[in-house]
Amino acid sequence: MTEVSFYEYSKLSADEKSALLRRSETDISGFIEKVGPILEAVRTEGDRAVARFGRELDKADLAESSIKVTEAEFDAAFKLVEDDVIEAIKFGISNIRTFHEEQKPEAMWLKEIRPGAFAGDRFTPIQSVALYVPRGKGSFPSVTMMTSVPAVVAGVPNLAIVTPPAPDGTVDAATLVAARLAGVDTVYKVGGAQAVAAVAYGTETIKPALKIVGPGSPWVVAAKRLLSGVIDTGLPAGPSEAMIFADDTVHGGLAALDLLIEAEHGPDSSAYLVTHSRRVAEQAIAALPEHWGRMTEQRVGFSKTVLTGKCGGVVLTSSIEESYAFVNAYAPEHLEILSTDAFAHLGHITEAAEILLGPHTPVSIGNFCLGPNAVLPTSRWARTYGPLSVTDFVKRSSIGYVTAPAYPEFAAHARKLALYEGFSSHANAVSDVRDAYLKTKG
Ligand SMILES: NC(=O)c1ccc[n+]([C@@H]2O[C@H](COP(=O)([O-])OP(=O)(O)OC[C@H]3O[C@@H](n4cnc5c(N)ncnc54)[C@H](O)[C@@H]3O)[C@@H](O)[C@H]2O)c1
Ligand SMILES: N[C@H](CO)Cc1c[nH]c[nH+]1
Ligand SMILES: [Zn+2]
């Protein structure tokens, strides 16, 4: 008999309520301590350390000379992956591309701020970005699509995927298929903390990048934290998490089915069902054993750990308003609104990285092929970050242009403020000294 964690929200103390908001990743100090030497080894030894950690940590048959995936390996991958999986990858890439092309900002906008004075923004691609594709407790062609497509749409000229090698020294074949179909040709066989260090510092084989994006295990999260002064580490995407919000218009068994989606990623996942309907809560708990009967042993193990532990379970609230409040306080990575009138709830939810509406939009569809990005902020970072997007692959420069007729008014105001702040060169540059130069050509 599996005891799923069950909470009656209104009966919890303030401390118990805040404990529900915790993720397994909240304390990664243990990982930080252990990744320090890995990062230092990669910095000082380069490829030698990358190959050694591949052998030690991934148990991979990896030599320094085989860190970079070859053309022949790409070609072989297309033969290994079944046609219907390749079709599904193409379907996903097509939708993800449509979504991200829509999202791409205009290359430049300019507004006439005052007559004769213009200002705006220009967006240009980041020159090099590394895409982390996990491979520990699963392989992730979907993460390859979700990171590669927006990067290609943004026009990043130097893209490279880093992903852990399998014991036979290969990269997951579907990941290679997805990479090539999305338009990324460089893949390095390196994962975990050593991957973050390799792209931050560069090695003999691996080119350094300005930024790394993509989700990963706490080893990856810890390395990103330590190297955030060396490389831009993008949005914080750690162990997967989801919240299923259900009102009283759906069957609890459906809620349980979807609760298991993200709970099966690993023992460090987080997954809650929140509902004000006791019927839904009870149906969900009762349905879990049948759903577990259709899952692999490994995934049953992971999801049981999550749903019987401190980062998952069923939360019964005393009202729908209390459910909204819990969702917003939790700020989940993925949120499903299970209701026959899902749009009615949407306005009440402000803190969630991805909001999927109605019984036909399970997290699985969002994860693989709907179009929006499934690389999302975890650990309550949805309160300040959004999903990975095209804008993560570009940087913004502001543009300004003041014409001669508009200049005097701006100069007068700028000079006053410069003098007030005590900056004499700032003030001189908008004084009669400039006027004199402007009147002469040399
Ligand atoms: N937020 C998102 O968008 C999103 C998407 C997909 C997956 N995820 C999450 O990403 C994570 C992927 O984790 P994973 O483990 O499957 O793959 P991973 O590639 O992130 O981690 C595996 C790597 O960790 C390193 N490692 C493992 N044990 C180690 C040890 N003892 N010492 C040092 N390094 C060690 C190894 O180098 C290994 O290659 C999961 O938590 C999953 O939930 C998140
Ligand atoms: N749920 C993950 C993001 O948290 C994405 C994913 C890919 N494959 C399966 N799931
Ligand atoms: Zn998932």
Provide the whole-model pTM. Answer: 0.96
Q: Is 143 in the pocket of ligand 1 (CB under 6 A)?
A: yes
How sure is the predictor about 93, in pLDDT bands with cuts at 50, 70 and 90?
very high
Q: For residue 358, what pLDDT is reported?
A: 98
Catalytic residue among 25, 262, 333, 354: 333
Q: Are residues 14 and 37 in the same domain?
A: no
Evaluate whether residue 134 is within a structural domain. yes
Q: Are residues 76 and 181 in the same domain?
A: yes
Q: Are residues 178 and 284 in the same domain?
A: no
Candidate of 25, 140, 299 to mutate for ligand 2, largest count of ligand atoms within 8 Å of Cβ: 140
Q: Are residues 300 and 227 in the same domain?
A: no
Q: Is 139 in the pocket of ligand 1 (CB under 6 A)?
A: no
Instruction: Among 322, 353, 372, identify where a domain stops.
Output: 372
Consecutive H or E run containing 337: strand 334-338
Q: Is 60 in the pocket of ligand 1 (CB under 6 A)?
A: no
How sure is the predictor about 25, in pLDDT bands with cuts at 50, 70 and 90?
low
For residue 238, the CA-to-ligand 1 centroid distance in Å is: 8
Contacting residues for 355 by C-beta, under 8 A, at least 6 apart: 335, 337, 346, 349
Evaluate whether residue 390 is within a structural domain. no
CATH code (residue 303) = 3.40.50.1980
pLDDT tens, position by position, 237-296: 989 999 999 999 999 999 999 999 999 999 999 999 999 999 999 999 999 999 999 999
Inform me whether the pLDDT recorded for 27 exceeds 80. no
First-residue to last-residue Cα distance in the chain? 90
For residue 200, the CA-to-ligand 3 centroid distance in Å is: 27
Closest CA to 26 of 381, 323, 389, 363: 381
> Is there a catalytic annotation at residue 333?
yes
| Secondary structure of residue 220 in the 3-state scheme | helix
Range of the domain at 300: 6-23+239-372
pLDDT tens, position by position, 379-402: 999 999 999 999 999 999 999 999
394, β-bridge pairs: 125
Q: Which two tokens stand for residue 208?
A: 């350094």
Over residues 350-371, mean pLDDT: 98
Share of the chain above pLDDT 90, in %: 96
Q: Are residues 16 and 33 in the same domain?
A: no
Catalytic residue among 100, 265, 276, 334: 334
Q: How many C-beta atoms lie closer than 10 Å to residue 275's C-beta?
A: 26
pLDDT tens, position by position, 95-146: 999 999 999 999 999 999 999 999 999 999 999 999 999 998 889 999 999 9
Atom 25, ligand 1: residue with shortest CA distance: 192
Q: Are residues 201 and 257 in the same domain?
A: no
| Nearest ligand (C-alpha, residue 132) | 1
Q: Are 303 and 274 in contact (CB under 8 A)?
A: no
ipTM: 0.97
Q: For residue 438, what pLDDT is reported?
A: 96
> Is there a catalytic annotation at residue 360?
no
Q: For residue 442, what pLDDT is reported?
A: 73
Residues with CB under 5 A from ligand 3 (ion): 367
Locate all alpha helices (DSSP H) within 110-172, ordered by sequence: 141-154
What span, in angstroms and rounded, lies between the C-alpha atoms of 22 and 332?
A: 11
Inform me whether the pLDDT recorded for 1 exceeds 70. no
Q: Is 240 in the pocket of ligand 2 (CB under 6 A)?
A: yes
HSE of 146 in the Cβ direction (CA atoms, 13 Å)?
25
Q: Is 142 in the pocket of ligand 2 (CB under 6 A)?
A: yes
Inform me whether the pLDDT recorded for 64 exceeds 90. yes
Q: Are residues 341 and 429 in the same domain?
A: no
Q: Are residues 18 and 48 in the same domain?
A: no
Instruction: Among 209, 237, 265, identify where a domain stops.
Output: 237
Beta strands in 175-321 (DSSP E): 187-189, 211-213, 241-246, 270-275, 312-316
How sure is the predictor about 24, in pLDDT bands with cuts at 50, 70 and 90?
confident
Q: Are residues 276 and 348 in the same domain?
A: yes
Q: Are residues 186 and 277 in the same domain?
A: no
